[in-house]
Every structure is written in C-alpha cells, then in structure tokens.
C-alpha cells in the first residue's frame, strides 16, 4: 500500500513541479533558475511540516508516504538544481551559479526548519 501512496504522490508532484517551474520562470527575465529554487523551497517547507507533525504523531505515516516521499520527492529536484548550476557556470554566469548554490541550500534548510517549527506550533 505504501508504494501505491508514494506513486500517487509522485504522479501529482512531477507535473506540479513542471507547471510551477514554468510559471515562476516566465515571470523573470533572468538566467537565474527561479522556478527550481521555488519548487525546492516549497517542497522543503511542506516536508518540514509533515515530518514535524509525524514526530509528534499528528501526521500518519501514510500521509508522509503520499505527500512527503511521493509529492515532495517528485516536486523537488536536486538533479535539475545541479544541471542548472553547471549550465550557469558553462554559460559564463559564474556569479549566478554560486548564488544559486548558496541561496538554494540556505532556502531549503530554512524552509524545512520553518516547516518543522510550524508543525510544532500546530501540534505541540
């Protein structure tokens, strides 16, 4: 059953990643990968809430499988982040590449921390 929940979440997360990425990137006239940064930060926030809730038994494991592993796993994308960073370097946008690495790591960790904190406030 868990595998089915993960697959269902992933089936939602992958197209959602594509749609959000394209919508965000279309609003920016920049080589910076705003869309990937957005989906990664949002996914980290959602996962933080889920894991924080699961830690206090407020979020069931089935929901963590569906939304955490499936949806967030497909929504977030380390491979695209890596590819876009390398592409920026190769295209000569080295500052953008370095900023992408720094901002992405900090934003992802901060979003996860905020998510866990929100979960603690909601369910503690």
Known binding positions for Na(+): 73, 76
Secondary structure (DSSP) of 41-79 = HHHHHHHHHHHHHHHTTSS-HHHIIIIIIIIIHHHS-HH
Closest CA to 75 of 102, 50, 101, 96: 50
Binding residues: 73, 76
Alpha-carbon span 97 to 118, nearest angstrom: 31
Residue 81, H or E segment: helix 78-90
Give the number of other CB atoms < 10 A from CB of residue 92: 10
């Amino acid at each position: 059953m868990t595998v089915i929940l993960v697959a269902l979440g992933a089936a939602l997360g992958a197209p959602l990643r594509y749609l959000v990425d394209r919508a965000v990137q279309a609003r920016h006239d920049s080589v910076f990968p705003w869309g990937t940064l957005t989906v990664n930060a949002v996914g980290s926030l959602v996962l933080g809430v889920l894991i924080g809730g699961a830690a206090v038994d407020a979020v069931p494991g089935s929901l963590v499988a569906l939304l955490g592993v499936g949806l967030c796993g497909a929504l977030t994308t380390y491979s695209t982040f890596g590819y876009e960073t390398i592409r920026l370097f190769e295209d000569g946008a080295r500052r953008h590449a370095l900023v992408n690495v720094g901002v992405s790591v900090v934003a992802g960790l901060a979003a996860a921390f905020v998510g866990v904190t929100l979960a603690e406030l909601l369910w503690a």
